[in-house]
């Protein structure tokens, strides 16, 4: 998660017990520095410029024995572009800082930057600078600069009771891919037999949902709310509810979960819904849209609408879960991945 702007600076004390340690620290930082620009996935500067930064640290976000340097480079760029997608912006420039350990060769640098460059080229983003320095372990810190979309800007704080909660793609796949890597199944990353290429790809080669965000802002303008689920769907729901002082009713059976994720979760002895809620690193979009706008858009079919509904925004003060219509246990944020 990056530090960015919260345009309303609203808080909801009823969600305090659902905050992760990382979010509590960000709240403290906002107080220490008077950070009126901190809170969204990006900072909105001068009404037209989006800026965000993310760091990937060896041993925290990746392991070099599980991912190639090209894969690490791609992921570092993609997760930054995802922050721009989270506000429906257009990414333009990347600044790359690499802290390299002893023995990191020129070929290693080349492999790493080939991954970064490949992602940047695919999304028409220029690498405009950065820094290199020595470190005890490999660390990448990227800053992305983008433009506000011509149709508007979506922040976390535009939801209202009655809105439909929507999401792209599928959830839990990245966590399933990590399980495969840890279980020694990295060779399946290019398999064509359905053995795990989707889940491994979601973890190793995430795709920022830029075109999907542009479709949404084209329908809503600046109305509604949006963020990415970098720290898990549960965290995204909490952040959206908290930013708008609203409640939510979420149907767990409506959360899209790929068949491969379900199969791997069964192997691991895990409920796939837990991976969907708490696994993180899916980099899907989660948003809130006016029910009438959603109803009209849905008539256009899935080809023209990459989102699916997973719940509704309420005027309550809690996030209530159901599973196939029956009450489900409340969110357990202790299951979320913690960066700190």
Mean pLDDT (whole number) for 177-198: 75
Residue range 28-74, pLDDT digits in tens: 877 887 777 777 789 999 889 999 999 999 999 999 999 999 999 99
Identify the pLDDT of residue 191.
53
Q: Is the pLDDT of residue 10 over 70?
A: no
Q: Which tokens in the block code for residue 239?
A: 């952040």
Residue 154 lies in a domain: no
Identify the pLDDT of residue 257.
98
Residue range 190-247, pLDDT digits in tens: 655 445 699 999 999 999 999 999 999 999 999 999 999 999 999 999 999 999 999 9
The secondary structure of 304-339 as a DSSP string is G--EEEEEEEESSSSEEEEETTEE-PPP-GGGS---
Residue 3 lies in a domain: no
User: Are 170 and 291 within one domain?
Assistant: yes
Residue 153 lies in a domain: no
User: Are 179 and 97 within one domain?
Assistant: no
* Domain end point (choices 87, 122, 147): 147
Q: Which tokens in the block code for residue 235?
A: 């965290």
- Tell me the CATH number at 225: 3.90.650.10
Q: Give whole-number Cα distances, 26 to 212, 251, 311, in Å.
A: 28, 29, 27
Residue range 13-37, pLDDT digits in tens: 457 677 777 777 777 877 887 777 7
Residue 6 lies in a domain: no
User: Are 176 and 297 within one domain?
Assistant: yes
User: Are 258 and 304 within one domain?
Assistant: yes
User: Are 28 and 126 within one domain?
Assistant: yes
Identify the pLDDT of residue 65.
95
Q: In the chain, how many domains are there?
A: 2
- Tell me the CATH number at 135: 3.30.1330.10
3-state secondary structure (DSSP) of residue 61: coil
Q: Of 136, 134, 135, 116, which is closest to residue 69 (Cα–Cα)?
A: 116
The angle, 0 to 180 degrees and rounded to 10, between the axes of the packed helices 106-122 and 69-85 is 30
User: Are 190 and 121 within one domain?
Assistant: no
Residue 64 lies in a domain: yes
User: Are 185 and 297 within one domain?
Assistant: yes
User: Are 22 and 124 within one domain?
Assistant: yes
User: Are 313 and 205 within one domain?
Assistant: yes
Q: Is the pLDDT of residue 120 over 70?
A: yes
Residue 79 lies in a domain: yes
Identify the pLDDT of residue 47.
85
User: Are 283 and 170 within one domain?
Assistant: yes
Residue 210 lies in a domain: yes
Q: Give whole-number Cα distances, 165 to 180, 196, 249, in Å.
A: 30, 29, 9
User: Are 104 and 188 within one domain?
Assistant: no
C-alpha 73/C-alpha 291 separation (Å) is 39
User: Are 174 and 300 within one domain?
Assistant: yes
Domain that holds residue 194: 164-335
Q: In the structure, what pLDDT confidence band is assigned to residue 140 with cuts at 50, 70 and 90? A: very high
Residue 44 lies in a domain: yes
Q: Which tokens in the block code for residue 109?
A: 């640098």
* Domain end point (choices 117, 147, 177): 147
- Least confident piece of the model among 13-22, 132-141, 266-275, 313-322: 13-22
- Residue 7 CB coordination number (10 Å): 17
């Amino acid at each position: 998660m990056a530090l960015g702007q919260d345009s309303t600076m609203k808080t909801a004390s009823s969600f305090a017990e659902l905050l992760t340690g990382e979010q509590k620290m960000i709240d403290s930082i906002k107080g220490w520095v008077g950070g009126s620009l901190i809170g969204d996935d990006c900072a909105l500067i001068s009404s037209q410029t989006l800026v965000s930064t993310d760091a990937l640290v060896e041993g925290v976000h990746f392991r070099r024995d599980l991912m190639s340097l090209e894969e690490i480079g791609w992921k570092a760029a993609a997760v930054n572009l995802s922050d721009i997608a989270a506000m429906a912006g257009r990414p333009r420039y990347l600044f790359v800082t690499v802290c390299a350990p002893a023995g990191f060769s020129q070929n290693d640098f080349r492999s790493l930057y080939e991954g970064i460059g490949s992602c940047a080229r695919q999304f028409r983003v220029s690498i405009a600078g950065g820094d290199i320095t020595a470190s005890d372990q490999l660390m990448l810190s990227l800053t992305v600069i983008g433009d506000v979309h011509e149709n508007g800007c979506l922040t976390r704080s535009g939801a209202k009771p009655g809105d439909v909660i929507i999401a792209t793609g599928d959830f839990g796949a990245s966590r399933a891919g990590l399980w495969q890597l840890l279980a020694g199944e990295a060779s399946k990353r290019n398999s064509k037999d359905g053995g795990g290429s989707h889940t491994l790809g979601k973890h190793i080669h995430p795709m920022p949902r830029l075109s999907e965000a542009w479709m949404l802002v084209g329908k809503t303008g600046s109305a509604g709310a949006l963020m990415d689920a970098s720290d898990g769907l549960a965290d995204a729901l909490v952040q959206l509810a908290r930013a708008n002082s609203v409640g939510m009713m979420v149907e767990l059976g409506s959360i899209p979960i790929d068949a491969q994720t379900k199969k791997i979760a069964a192997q691991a002895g895990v409920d796939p819904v837990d991976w969907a809620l708490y696994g993180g690193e899916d980099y899907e979009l989660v948003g809130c849209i006016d029910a009438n706008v959603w109803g009209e858009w849905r008539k256009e079919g899935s080809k023209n609408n990459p989102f699916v509904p997973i719940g509704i925004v309420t005027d309550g003060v809690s996030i209530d879960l159901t599973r196939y219509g029956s009450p489900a246990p409340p969110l357990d944020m202790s299951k979320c991945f913690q960066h700190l």
